[in-house]
Structure 1
Amino acid sequence: YFVTPGMDVIDLFIGSEGTLGVIVEIEVRLLPKPEGLLSGVVFFDSEDFLLAFVCEARETSLANRLGSSNQGSNLLVSESAALDARALEYFDIESLRFLKQKYETIPINAIGAIFFEQETTTSTEDSLMNDWLGLLERHHALADESWFATNAADQANLREFRHALPVLMNEWFARYRQRKVSTDMAVPDEAFADMLRFYQDALRGGDLRHTIFGHIGDNHVHVNILPRNDDESAKAWEIYLKFIRRAVEVGGTISAEHGIGKLKREYLRELYGEPHLREMAALKHAFDPAGILGRGNIISEDYYGDSMK
């Protein structure tokens, strides 16, 4: 649970996976629909170039976003044609090999790809495209073989590409009748490149089919290990524990998006240790003395008192 001095109590409930209370009413604020979007799937033949591109795109986007905020919350996109990615998604070489089943035009020498997306207006579209092309040129992307979209039809095609990989992997699992082993870890900026290499080295050493893709802008990629039999599945879970421990060692988190639930709760001990888990159980008891909310989520019932079992 998230606890810090002076916090808003709502932050305690966010991410608590239904273990502390039941939300009965929510007020939401909608973001304005962007006038236009510029997106692309850009390919690289060097991992170093790809990571450098992501680093500059992320840092530039953050700086421009903070600059816009400082000028006032009502600043329109049209008044500030600044590079600002709202998505940076990664596909490793194994992901591209899967995707070539449907997309034969993926460059043969590509070792990875980045999907990016930027909000635009009619007046900023051309200048933003030039900014992105300049960024790609600086980092030696395969720009001539990459794909870009500014209209609705092309945008739909790129979104389909972005979401095709999970579908292809589900077909794999159906064929081999094995359960996916998938990570949800995120690490600090300075640790990501080494973490990615750690993933790659462990998977190659284990001779396991896999893909690595996801939210590289947040240093949060999903490693999906694809076992073909029970022996490979056992090996995959051993490697998964190594990933957990390395992420914690470098100051990361073991679940940046999809929660802990019941399947990953035993790994929470690696992140917090026994004393903190007992503190969390005590906090839950204060909100839910009968132990009826989200039973077994996040915290094993072994940590509950007799009154909550």
Structure 2
Amino acid sequence: IEKHPLIYNILFFNSEEEAISFSELIRENKIISPEFIEFFSFEALNLLKKVQNEDPSSISMPQIPIYAKSAIFFDLPYSEDNLDKIFSEINSIAEKCKTNLSEGWSGYENQDFARFKHFRQALPEIINAIIAQRKLEFPQLHKLGTDMSIPKGNFRNMMKYYHSVLQNTNLEYVIFGHLGDNHVHVNILPKNMEDLRLGEKIYEKFAKRAVEYGGSISAEHGIGKIKREYLKIMYGQKELDEMRLIKKTLDPSLTLNYGNIISFEPEEE
């Protein structure tokens, strides 16, 4: 199957609300059909700006606009026949959200995509480097990254909740991820063990609110061992007991992926 050529774009917005509106409008549009819609919060852009200022060669992109409070990285599949129509549609949507393509970044070639992709991937790399440095003083330290997806009707409320809770603390955090399915990653970057313990409590609050809003506590990276304690929030004890029964029926010796998703008491093993 021959793929359409793609135009890669990063647009900057005066507010997070406008970025979310832009995402919703292009998803509803009948002509525009992006394959991905990636979000950057104000905190995420500030972290990228800081790295750009300290080492301009580390991120081979222009300087992020001073006014930017959020950004979206997305692609536009097109053909020669509909290119003008697509640009007309996307400009109209951008104007509704108080931005325009001329103030953003666009590219066509594979080389452009590699640079744009690096801009997106630089964020988790920077976060991991920050945590690695802090672990030198606190070896048990680690970041806390949510993986929750929220139905469209409650997504804006959830974003407001993330910010309202975290802004009432001294915790460092950034938000980025996939607006295409209302699934962003809140990354909490603790500076010490006290921060980590507070972050863990906040993570649980986020999980409870996500479930209240009809969402999932893990939309992409699975439950594994780290998130299994939050599964009870989503399903309840009865459902977890049924999962254990199925697990023991199919794997009586508990040899497959031991401890993943479901925990067992010593007497059950």
TM-score, normalised to structure 1's length? 0.78
Partner of residue 55, structure 1: 24
Partner of residue 254, structure 2: 291
Partner of residue 187, structure 1: 150
Give 1:42's match in structure 2, choosing from 4, 8, 11. 11
> How many residues are paired up?
255
Q: Alpha-carbon deviation of 1:270?
A: 0.8
Partner of residue 140, structure 1: 98
Q: Alpha-carbon deviation of 1:286?
A: 2.8
Judging changes above 3 Å, is the alpha-carbon distance between structure 1 residues 212 and 109 closer, same or farther for their aligned structure 2 residues?
same
Q: Alpha-carbon deviation of 1:142?
A: 4.8
Partner of residue 207, structure 2: 244
Q: Which residues of structure 2 form unaligned runs of 5+?
A: 53-60, 136-140
Q: Distance in 2 between matches of 1:115 and 1:99?
A: 14
Give 1:263's match in structure 2, choosing from 217, 226, 231. 226
CA contact under 8 A between 2:16 and 2:41: conserved in structure 1? no
Judging changes above 3 Å, is the alpha-carbon distance between structure 1 residues 296 and 202 closer, same or farther for their aligned structure 2 residues?
same
Please list every run of at least 4 consecutive aligned residues from structure 1 whose deviation after the TM superposition is greater than 6 angstroms. none
2:43 is equivalent to residue 94 of structure 1:
yes
Q: Distance in 2 between matches of 1:118 and 1:105?
A: 23
Give the 5 Å matches for 1:1-309: 32=1, 34-60=3-29, 64=30, 82-100=31-49, 101-102=51-52, 105-177=63-135, 178-302=141-265, 306=268, 309=269
Q: Alpha-carbon deviation of 1:124?
A: 3.2
| CA offsets 1:94-121 (integer angstroms, 9 cap, x no match) | 1001111235611101100011112223
Q: Alpha-carbon deviation of 1:123?
A: 3.4
The aligned amino acid for 1:286 is T
Q: Alpha-carbon deviation of 1:127?
A: 3.0
CA contact under 8 A between 2:91 and 2:100: conserved in structure 1? no
Q: Distance in 2 between matches of 1:239 and 1:209?
A: 13
CA contact under 8 A between 1:34 and 1:120: conserved in structure 2? no
Q: Alpha-carbon deviation of 1:192?
A: 0.3
Equivalent position SS for 1:90: strand
Q: CA RMSD of the aligned region, Å?
A: 1.7
Partner of residue 57, structure 2: none
Q: Alpha-carbon deviation of 1:39?
A: 1.6
Q: Distance in 2 between matches of 1:241 and 1:150?
A: 42
State percent identity of aligned pairs: 39
Q: Distance in 2 between matches of 1:232 and 1:160?
A: 29
Partner of residue 138, structure 2: none
Q: Distance in 1 between matches of 2:17 and 2:253?
A: 53
Judging changes above 3 Å, is the alpha-carbon distance between structure 1 residues 142 and 172 closer, same or farther for their aligned structure 2 residues?
farther
Q: Distance in 2 between matches of 1:173 and 1:122?
A: 46
Q: Distance in 2 between matches of 1:33 and 1:218?
A: 25
Q: Distance in 1 between matches of 2:155 and 2:200?
A: 21
Q: Alpha-carbon deviation of 1:33?
A: 5.4
Q: Alpha-carbon deviation of 1:261?
A: 0.4
Q: Which residues of structure 1 form unaligned runs of 5+?
A: 1-31, 65-81
Equivalent position SS for 1:86: coil
CA contact under 8 A between 1:45 and 1:142: conserved in structure 2? no
| CA offsets 1:220-268 (integer angstroms, 9 cap, x no match) | 1000000111111111111111101100111111000000001111111
